[in-house]
Structure 1
Amino acid sequence: MRVAVLGGHGKTGRAVCAALVERGAIAVPLGRADWADLSGSLDGCDAVYVIAPNLHADEPAYVAEVLDAVRAAGVGRIVYHSVASPCVPAMPHHLGKAVSEDVVRRSGLAWTVLQPGAYLQNLDLTGPVRVPYDVHATFGFLDLADLGAAAATVLLDDGHVGATYELASRVATVAELAAEAGVAAEQVDDPGTHPWLSAMFAYYDRHGLPVGTLPLRALFGC
């Protein structure tokens, strides 16, 4: 099977490509340079894994454009990379993914949606961990290797068309992860680099981002 991974050169895309290759599939990582003729870049592909750029100003429009190219290329299978808890009004970029999920579901294609929790790899546990939200807030954390394996599973195995899966490898707090690594954890001020990130940090501070681990275990048959 030949799978195009749109956004395939970032850390998420690399994890998906690696897992596809491990399963014996052909992974085709596509980046910005391939947008000049996206439908042409998809020629010969059996499926597309869609990762939008981080904090895209209009992700639904981006996804709609991708879907047009997918249909033009005659590809009938798509997996959309969303986010856990996409329908949270306090996080604008999550809402953009919620609308994009609707666009995908109405596309007429054979679709699956993955909703990953926060990546474990986003935390540097080699030294003191400093984050702009409560270190005791609960999260469903996802390991990138598990994300890649889950993506390969839904793309290559039967039975996942029309399914939506929230994904987390484990439930923990930043403080717990830091303690396991033998380092300190502390909350610091929000750097204010992007208003959507500030909104996300404020939400995390109050509510964390809990995600159950059962869907991932079920995908892996354990």
Structure 2
Amino acid sequence: MNDPAGPRRVAVFGGHGKTGRAVIAALIERGAEPVPLGRAEWPALGTALIGCQAACVIAPNLHPDEPDYVATVLGALTRAGVPRVVYHSVASPYAPDMPHHVGKARSEDLVRRSGLSWTILQPGAYRENLDLSGPTVTVPYDVDAVFGFLDLADLGAVAATVLLDASHAGATYELATRQATVRELAAECGLTAQQVPNEVEHPWLRAMFDYYDRHGLPVGLGVLRHLLGSR
């Protein structure tokens, strides 16, 4: 359950992106007052954070130095007296073959040593990242690799839950809505699935897809079910 005396004004760093919008929608549904913050608002952070009792930190996708980004946000929260932070990390953050995952692992360490009350979310791959418009779902990795897929709405619901309930302080939650392969998700929509060559230009994305090809990204389901069942 959400704590009725818990935070009601919540800063959402990265609030203009798809993850941030999902978190904001869930916060509004629970009667909270989200404050979306992007880079444009950073010069006035001291003012924007006034009255915030918690913050959700979602770094830009593939940020070149996520630990620096997170350290800057943590410093702003500390100066503004915001006591609680929820950090949006990733499932399997310490995977040396995926450089941006390692950046999130280092950022998790900063959050845990920040002196703030913290919770860390480790989401699986978003189901919404797959193009299921048909007739063939194409991805640059093995379509039979197993993933823990996460629905954005479920991520938003969990983030709002832990932001508004201080009993989740000190917890790290790995999150997935279901385990499946790309082939299985495609078949459920009446589509076929096909692996295409991994020719993406960004080296971190190319490394991530190579990792997926070898290992997938399995994520357990029990934590999400428990958290959503406790709303």
The equivalent of 2:126 in structure 1 is 119
Q: Alignment partner for residue 136 of structure 1, among 139, 144, 158?
A: 144
Which residues of structure 2 form unaligned runs of 5+?
Answer: 1-7
Partner of 1:48: 55
1:126, distance to aligned residue in structure 2 (A):
1.4
- CA drift of 1:40 comes to 2.3
What does 1:43-82 align with in structure 2 at a 5 Å threshold?
Answer: 43-82=50-89
TM-score normalised to structure 1 length: 0.98
1:47 to 1:158, Cα distance in 2 relative to 1, 3 A: closer
The alpha carbon displacement at 1:193 in A equals 2.2
**TM-fit CA distance, 1:190:** 1.4
Q: Secondary structure at the match of 1:220?
A: helix
Quote the offset at 1:221 in angstroms: 2.3
Whole-angstrom distance in 1 between the partners of 2:194 and 2:129: 15
**Counterpart in the other structure of 1:15:** 22
Is 2:159 the partner of 1:148? no
User: Residue type of the partner of 2:141?
Assistant: Y
* Structure 1 equivalent of residue 5 of structure 2: none
- Return the letter of the residue paired with 1:171: Q
Supply the AA of the counterpart residue of 1:59. E
Out of 208, 217, 221, the position equivalent to 2:225 is: 217
Q: Residues of 2 paired with 1:157 and 1:43: CA distance? A: 20
Q: Which amino acid aligns with 1:33?
A: A
Equivalent residue number for residue 198 of structure 2: 190
Q: 1:44: how far off?
A: 1.3
List runs of 5+ in structure 1 lacking aligned partners. none
User: What percent identity do the matched residue pairs reach?
Assistant: 71
Q: Which residue of 1 aligns with 2:100?
A: 93
Aligned-partner Cα distance in 1 for 2:68–2:38: 17
Residue 62 of structure 1: SS of its match in structure 2? helix
Q: CA deviation at 1:63?
A: 0.4
Q: Give the paired residue count.
A: 222
